[in-house]
């Protein structure tokens, strides 16, 4: 083989050169030989795939937080994260629905609304009241009757004194009167007038008609209960969406870290090859500086990707409300979440049927109508019936126990209230109109959100097809670059460029799949209650 046909090949991951017509003098540089360059350079790992998915943990119950909602860490050890816990999307949804505080609060609101319905339905029954009491009294003061008796006794004493001694003077009679009165009053004062009595009663009352207020109040409570149940459904759907979104975000963060790590590895090898070429006299300082800049940029992008990955990891932990020491990782492979089989018109109609927010607006309209009835009931007749039975007994007297009963029918009709009832009805009418406008506005917003998510889903679906084709083309390009390099008509730079293009194509495909999954989750949230159009059982 002549010198004019001699090739010197420098093999590297990101940089390579094939030179022809290189003289033996250049090839035999004083410090570094071509053979040393080939030995110190690494061959590209052209079959390297971006990995995704890990073995999930078996028991997610260990990730649950403390049962005390008021507890919080007080030492740094309590918030120090442990080893990463890989979980699947299904496990993430299970944790979210169990630990989500908004869901728990919505559950409590439903229970509260159920109690409110029972409270209003209690008006369907009469009220029964029992009263009883014991009284004790002792009156030491003289009443009018006693005073009359004293006066009569004093007068009798004076008459007896006059009869016995007609010659008594007025002064003597006055003295006799004073003494007699004092003696008689002392006798009455020393006599106890104590009273110890028992009183008891039983009363029953029932509103026969109250202007429609009772029925309207019950229907209002029932509609508010239904609204609370729908709010629980809305919060559950939102929790499912946020969990899926954050899970896919973490998958994307993992993929981006691997992509950027591969870029750093390629840039590091490029710099190494450039330095070897410079030592061999086959490269320049400019090429080394350029490789150093590329490596610095790749490291910066890797640092940003790692930070975003950590943020996504903590965001998922916050959404799932796991314990403070839990560090999560994704266990699922990056693959399409599903296929949306409904067409856009069918999807829009299904969203109108399933969205809890629309039914809540209709319920608010109906509640306003019931509030109007309640307001007008203030000026309508109210008919009530009552029956009472009472029992009285004084243990200090000689009389028998006395009792009595009473039955009544009462009619109350407020003929004038200054227009208050009518004004309350007008407020309810305005509330009904507001609810109707909110329904129309919400309906339009839901349609737009469905259309936006649907178009994004289709776009990302097409992107998957495009990036899949891109991977196929990049794979074929890499195969041809290898053949050219092995046959001596191509350079290692061509191989590395092809490898870099394939790595990016694979990363783009993973990103397009994750974007598709995000759009799929968004569309499922906009429609709600997919796939069976019914709220799933909560854990």
* Residue 370 belongs to domain with CATH number: 1.20.1600.10
**Does 412 fall in a domain?**
yes
Domain check: are 119 and 177 in the same one?
Answer: no
| CA–CA gap between residue 424 and residue 345 (Å, rounded) | 42
pLDDT at 493 (0 to 100): 72
Domain range enclosing 178: 146-189
pTM above threshold 0.85: no
Residue 305 tokens, joined? 């990707």
Report if residue 350 sits inside a domain. yes
Please give the pLDDT value at position 532. Answer: 60
pLDDT of 323 reads 74
Residue 316 domain-assigned? yes
Give the pLDDT of residue 24. 32
Which parts of the chain register pLDDT below 70?
1-53, 57-81, 83, 137-146, 186-194, 324, 395-400, 492, 530-539
Q: Does residue 453 fall inside a structural domain?
A: yes
Does the bond joining 531 to the residue before it have cis omega, within 30 degrees of 0? yes
- Terminal alpha carbon distance of the chain: 78
Q: What is the pLDDT of residue 275?
A: 87
Residue 296 in any domain: the answer is: yes
Question: Are residues 422 and 502 located together in one domain of the fold?
Answer: yes
Q: What is the pLDDT of residue 159?
A: 79
- Regarding whether 389 and 286 lie in a shared domain, the answer is yes
What would the pLDDT profile of 104-147 be if each residue is shown by its tens digit?
999 999 999 999 999 999 999 999 999 988 887 665 554 556 67
State whether 226 and 312 are in the same domain: yes
**Beta partners for residue 203, in sequence order:** 129, 388
Helix orientation angle between 213-279 and 356-376, rounded to the nearest 10 degrees: 150
pLDDT of amino acid 269: 82
Element (H, E) at 129: strand 127-138
Residue 537 maps to a domain: no
Cα–Cα distance between 189 and 194 in angstroms, integer?
12
| Nearest Cα residue to 19 out of 339, 502, 488, 504 | 488
- pLDDT score at 274: 80
Does the residue 6 lie in any domain? no
């Amino acid at each position: 083989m002549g010198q004019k046909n001699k090739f010197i090949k420098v093999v590297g991951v990101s940089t390579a050169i094939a030179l022809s017509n290189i003289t033996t003098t250049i090839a035999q540089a004083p410090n570094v030989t071509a053979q040393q360059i080939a030995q110190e350079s690494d061959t590209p790992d052209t079959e390297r795939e971006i990995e995704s998915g890990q073995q999930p943990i078996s028991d997610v119950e260990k990730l649950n937080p403390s049962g005390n909602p008021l507890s919080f860490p007080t030492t740094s050890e309590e918030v120090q994260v442990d080893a990463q816990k890989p979980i699947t999307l299904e496990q993430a949804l299970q944790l979210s629905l169990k630990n989500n505080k908004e869901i728990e609060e919505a559950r409590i609101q439903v229970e509260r609304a159920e109690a409110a319905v029972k409270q209003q339905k209690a008006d369907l029954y009469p009220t029964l009241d029992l009263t009883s009491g014991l009284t004790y009294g002792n009156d030491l003061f003289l009443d009018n009757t006693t005073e009359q008796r004293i006066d009569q006794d004093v007068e009798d004493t004076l008459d007896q004194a006059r009869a016995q001694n007609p010659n008594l003077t007025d002064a003597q009679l006055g003295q006799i009167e004073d003494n007699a009165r004092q003696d008689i009053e002392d006798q009455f004062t020393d006599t106890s007038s104590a009273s110890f009595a028992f009183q008891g009663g039983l009363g029953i009352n029932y509103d026969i008609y109250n202007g429609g207020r009772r029925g309207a109040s019950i229907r209002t409570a029932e509609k508010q209960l239904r609204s609370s149940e729908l709010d629980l459904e809305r919060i559950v759907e939102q929790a499912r969406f946020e969990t899926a979104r954050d899970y896919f975000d973490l998958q994307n963060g993992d993929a981006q870290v691997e992509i950027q790590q591969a870029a750093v590895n390629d840039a590091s090898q490029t710099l190494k090859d450039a330095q070897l070429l410079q030592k061999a006299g086959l490269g320049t300082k400019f090429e080394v500086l350029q490789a150093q800049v590329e490596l610095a940029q790749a490291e910066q992008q890797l640092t940003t990707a790692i930070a975003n990955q950590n943020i996504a990891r903590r965001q998922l932990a916050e959404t799932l409300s796991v314990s403070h020491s839990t560090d999560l990782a994704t266990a699922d492979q990056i693959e399409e979440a599903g296929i949306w089989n409904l067409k856009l018109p069918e999807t829009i109609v299904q969203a109108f049927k399933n969205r809890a927010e629309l039914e809540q607006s209709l319920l608010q309209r109906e509640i306003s109508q019931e509030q109007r009835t309640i307001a007008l009931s203030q000026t309508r007749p109210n008919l009530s019936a009552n029956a009472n039975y009472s029992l009285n007994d004084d243990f200090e007297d000689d009389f028998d126990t006395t009792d009595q009963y009473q039955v009544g029918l009462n009619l109350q009709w407020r003929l004038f209230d200054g227009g208050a009832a009518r004004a309350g009805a007008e407020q309810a009418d305005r509330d009904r109109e507001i609810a109707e406008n909110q329904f129309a506005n919400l309906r339009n917003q839901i349609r737009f959100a469905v259309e936006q998510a649907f178009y994004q889903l289709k776009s990302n679906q097409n992107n998957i097809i495009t990036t899949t084709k891109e991977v196929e083309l990049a794979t074929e390009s890499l195969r041809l670059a290898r053949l050219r390099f092995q046959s001596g008509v191509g350079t290692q730079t061509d191989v590395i460029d092809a490898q870099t293009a394939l790595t990016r194509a694979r990363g783009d495909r993973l990103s397009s799949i994750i974007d598709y999954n995000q759009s799929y989750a968004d569309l499922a949230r906009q429609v709600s209650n997919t796939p069976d159009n019914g709220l799933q059982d909560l854990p």
